[in-house]
Amino acid sequence: MMKQAVSVLLLLGIILEITGVAAIQLRFMPDPPTLNTYGTHRMNKSDNLDLTCRGRQRLLWSTPPTSTRLSTSDCSGSGLFCLTLTITNATVNETGQYQCYYKDLKVEDGKTAAGVYVFVHDSKVPFVPSEKEYEVVFIREGERVVIPCRGSVENLNVTLNTNYPIKEIHPDGKDSVWDPKKGFILPTHLISYAGVVSCQTRIKNETFKSPLYIVAVVGYKIYDLTLTPVHQRLSVGERLVLSCTAHTELNVGIEFNWTHSGGALNLGSGFHTVSHKKKLWDSLELSNTLIVENVTVDHSGDFTCTASSGQMEKSASAYLTVFGGCTENILLHNVILIKKSQEMDQGGRNSLV
């Protein structure tokens, strides 16, 4: 009975401790920032807009990368922090997501941040310009891709045009859709061959095109990884060369990392690597060679090479034995002579038979 009572008390203590920690965390978590407008706001070209954010801690605004006609002003008072973002003489470039968040906390929408999406309508510029003249869109096999041809006008009939070969893709509302806040969304296999794409729409018998997007197919599959030689014996002062080779699908970027006996190698302090890339008919051969010019006894142990493509990772290991003195070298030499002598004797017996 006494043991049961002690167990109950211990369990109650643990529950109270957990509850106390949770209560402290909740007590110091401020209410989310509040805005004077939420969701989606629509405005016309050349109009002005004030977005006011209030909260319990210091505030910051994040804005669309293309927006330039912006200014902020402090409006704090009545025990609240306050920051107003003003859009002046708006253009299509100001179209996008505006988010207010607490400066010193992790950004979490609805908890430490609040946002509003702004459309600046301009029927003469229905697509939001890109930051660069040509924007690269990376796609991976089996995934959906977003071509970021966002709109300044929402209700548009948009098609995606491919240049090589020339083809027009219409949204079907299911697999392929155009979202004015994101762009044209579709399966990768529909444009993996395209090279260059753009969005297109017609307004009052006039055709408008979005910026051009270069489509680059990126692979991730690592077929195999080898590390050679698997077991090597060297004497102090000799040169170590370990070659780590990965065979991958085409258009794969690989990051190689090395460890020694479980610890990360500090390249540059006696270690250096040489990389090589070879394109085969339907795959890539990527290698990373680790070189140590003068090995010591401390270099003995496991060397592990890890190849990562971001979505896939493989590792391979090799073992190095370093003999550090004259006695060890003599013993090794004698072992090798004995093995050779045994092999010769065995061969002679076999021939007599």
Q: Tell me: the pLDDT tens digits for 22-48?
A: 433 444 578 999 999 999 999 999 999
Q: Are residues 250 and 284 in contact, defined by beta-carbon separation less than 8 angstroms?
A: yes
Reported confidence tier of residue 233, pLDDT bands at 50, 70, 90: very high
What's the whole-number mean pLDDT along residues 94-113?
94
**Average pLDDT score over residue span 119-138:** 91
| Residue 69 reports pLDDT greater than 70 | yes
Q: Which pLDDT score, from 0 to 100, does residue 163 have?
A: 82
- Give the mean pLDDT of the chain: 85
Q: Is a pLDDT exceeding 90 seen at residue 133?
A: no
pLDDT confidence band for 192 (50 / 70 / 90): confident
Residue 42, CB half-sphere, CA atoms under 13 Å: how many? 9
pLDDT at 183 over 80: yes
65: cis peptide before it, omega within 30°?
no
How large is the average pLDDT for residues 273-278? 94
Query: Is it the case that residue 350 has pLDDT exceeding 50?
Result: no
- Bond prior to 229 in cis (omega within 30° of 0): yes
pLDDT category at 132 given cuts 50, 70, 90 is confident
State pTM to two decimals: 0.66
Confidence category of residue 217, pLDDT binned at 50, 70, 90 = confident
54 forms bridges with which residues in the sheet? 34, 82
Q: Given its phi and psi angles, is residue 86 left (phi above 0), alpha (psi -120 to 50 degrees) or beta?
A: beta
Cα 139 to Cα 35, 173, 218, 259, distances in angstroms: 36, 21, 6, 31
30 secondary structure, DSSP code: P
For residue 132, give every residue at least 6 positions away whose Cβ sits within 8 Å of its Cβ, in sequence order, or none: none
pLDDT of residue 316: 97
pLDDT of residue 60: 96
What is the 3-state composition of the chain as percent helix, strand, coil, each rounded to the nearest 5? Answer: 20, 45, 35
As a whole number of angstroms, the distance between CA 299 and CA 301 comes to 6
Q: Is the pLDDT of residue 4 over 70?
A: no
Q: Per-residue pLDDT averaged across 166-195, rounded?
A: 91
Q: Could you give the CA distance from residue 150 to residue 182 in angstroms, rounded to a whole number?
A: 6
Residue 210 Cα to chain centre, angstroms: 27
- Determine the Cα–Cα distance for residues 322 and 328; give it in Å rounded to an integer: 10
* Spatial distance between the Cα atoms of 82 and 59, rounded to a whole number of angstroms: 7
**Residues, the chain:** 353
Q: What's the pLDDT band for 59 if we cut at 50, 70, 90?
A: very high
So what's the pLDDT on residue 241? 96
- pLDDT of 251 higher than 60: yes
Which of 137, 140, 142, 134 is CA-nearest to residue 253? 140
**Scanning the structure block, which residue is given the tokens 């299509």?**
92
The whole-number pLDDT of residue 270 equals: 81
**For position 339, what pLDDT does the model report?**
54
Would the pLDDT of 347 be above 60?
no
Mean predicted confidence (pLDDT) in 285-296: 94
Tell me the average pLDDT across 148-170: 92
Residue 346 is predicted with a pLDDT of 55
Q: How far apart are CA 243 and CA 307, in angstroms?
A: 12
Whether residue 342 has pLDDT greater than 60: no
Cα four-point dihedral sign 331, 334, 338, 340: positive
CA 193 to chain centroid: 24
Across the range 133-144, mean pLDDT stands at: 86
Tell me the per-residue pLDDT of 297-334, one tens digit each, with 9 for 90 and over: 999 999 999 999 988 999 999 999 999 755 445 445 44
CA distances 114 to 51, 96, 109, 231, 270, Å, are 11, 14, 6, 58, 51
Percent of the chain with pLDDT strictly greater than 90:
63
CA dihedral 2, 3, 4, 10 (to 10 degrees): 110
pLDDT of residue 17: 52
CA separation for the pair 306, 289 (Å, rounded): 12
Query: 304 near 315, Cβ under 8 Å?
Result: yes
Contact between 33 and 100 (Cβ < 8 Å): yes
Strand partners, 82: 54
Can you read off the two tokens belonging to residue 28? 């110091």
Phi, psi (rounded to 5 degrees) for 320 = -115, 130
